[in-house]
Amino acid sequence: MHYNGVIFDFNGTLLFDDAYHVVAWDRIAMEVAGKHLTAEQMDTEYAGFPNIEILRRLSGGTLTPDQLEYYSLRKEELYRETVRNVPGGAKLVPGANELFDYLKEHEIPCAIATASIIQNIEFFVETFHLDKWFDMDHIVYDNNAYKNKIMMFRDACDRIGTHENILIFEDSLSGITCAAEIGASIVAIHKETMEPHYPKFPQIIDIVEDLRGADRYF
pLDDT at 208: 98
Long-range contacts made by residues 55-64, C-beta under 8 angstroms, separation at least 24?
Answer: 55/28, 58/28, 58/29, 58/32, 58/33, 59/32, 59/33, 60/33, 63/32
Write the pLDDT tens digit of every residue in 113-147.
Answer: 998 889 999 999 999 999 999 999 999 998 888 88
Write the pLDDT tens digit of every residue in 24-74.
Answer: 999 999 999 999 988 888 878 887 677 888 999 999 999 999 999 999 999
Give domain limits for the chain. 5-15+93-217, 18-84
Q: Which of 183, 168, 176 is nearest to 197 (CA)?
A: 176
pLDDT at 133: 97
Q: How confident is the model at residue 92 (pLDDT cuts 50, 70, 90)?
A: very high
Using CB atoms within 10 A of its CB, is residue 203 exposed (0-12), middle (13-18) or buried (19+)?
A: middle
pLDDT at 103: 97
Over 71-136, what HEC string results? HHHHHHHHHHHHHHCCCCCCCCCCCHHHHHHHHHHCCCCEEEECCCCHHHHHHHHHHHCHHHCCCH
Q: Please determine, looking at this structure, whether the domain spanning 18-84 carries the CATH number 1.10.150.
A: yes
Report, at the CATH architecture level, how domain 5-15+93-217 is classified.
Answer: 3-Layer(aba) Sandwich (3.40)
Helix axes of 118-128 and 65-84: crossing angle, nearest 10 degrees: 10
pLDDT at 1: 66
| pTM, two decimal places | 0.85
Write the pLDDT tens digit of every residue in 188-211.
Answer: 999 998 999 999 999 999 999 999
